[in-house]
């Protein structure tokens, strides 16, 4: 993970904070092309759209399916504040997107949620590579652990 990766991850954390301000869960993601161009970004919209599947990772996979030529998808990198859930990992794999870089892992979120007394996710926190074996994955980013953990703590206090 290099400085460019961290810059994109910091934007994901900003989007996660925007989601929290809007009453949604604090998650944000950015899709970047092979040449470094930011193609699209999104944030969690579960509460505001009354749809628990409105995770930014699956929304960006669907954006790519609609807008990105098949031959460009494998060269992309999907940055995200939190590791993909199995639903989003599967969408990423089906659409054929490339590397994933996340700030905090599903295991970290599960641990933090348990510490805060929040209910466990209804979906198993399977690591991305258990769902999409062939994909390159990097994370967590120790530099961003405390800020992401702080967002989870704030979401618990709503
Ligand atoms: Zn998801």
Q: pLDDT tens digit string along 86-140?
A: 999 999 999 999 999 999 999 999 999 999 998 888 999 899 999 999 999 999 9
The reported pLDDT for the residue numbered 157 is: 83
Distance from residue 131's CA to the centre of ligand 1 (Å)? 12
The reported pLDDT for the residue numbered 111 is: 93
Contacts of 77 (CB under 8 A, 6+ apart): 5, 8, 31, 32, 98, 99, 100, 101
- CA gyration radius, the chain: 14
CB-CB neighbours of 69 under 10 Å: 7
Give the mean model confidence (pLDDT) for residues 144-153.
Answer: 97
Distance from residue 54's CA to the centre of ligand 1 (Å)? 8
Distance from residue 2's CA to the centre of ligand 1 (Å)? 25
Distance from residue 56's CA to the centre of ligand 1 (Å)? 7
Distance from residue 80's CA to the centre of ligand 1 (Å)? 10
Distance from residue 85's CA to the centre of ligand 1 (Å)? 4
Cis status, amide bond into 104, omega within 30 of 0: no
β-sheet with 38-43: strand ranges across: 38-43, 28-32, 77-82, 99-104, 137-138
Separation CA 62–CA 9 (nearest Å): 20
Contacts of 115 (CB under 8 A, 6+ apart): none
Distance from residue 91's CA to the centre of ligand 1 (Å)? 9
């Amino acid at each position: 993970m290099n400085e460019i990766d961290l810059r994109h991850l910091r934007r994901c954390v900003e989007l996660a904070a925007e989601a929290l301000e809007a009453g949604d869960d604090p998650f944000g993601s950015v899709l970047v092309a092979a040449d470094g161009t930011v193609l699209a970004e999104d944030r969690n919209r579960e509460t505001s759209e009354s749809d628990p599947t409105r995770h930014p990772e699956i929304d960006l996979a669907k954006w790519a399916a609609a807008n990105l030529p098949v031959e460009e998808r494998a060269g992309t990198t999907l940055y995200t504040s939190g590791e993909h859930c199995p639903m989003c990992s599967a969408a990423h794999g089906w659409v054929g997107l490339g590397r994933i870089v996340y700030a905090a892992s599903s295991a970290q979120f599960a641990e933090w949620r348990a510490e805060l007394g929040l209910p466990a996710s209804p979906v198993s926190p399977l690591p991305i590579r258990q769902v999409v074996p062939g994909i390159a994955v990097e994370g967590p980013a120790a530099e961003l652990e405390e800020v992401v953990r702080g967002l989870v703590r704030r979401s618990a206090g709503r």
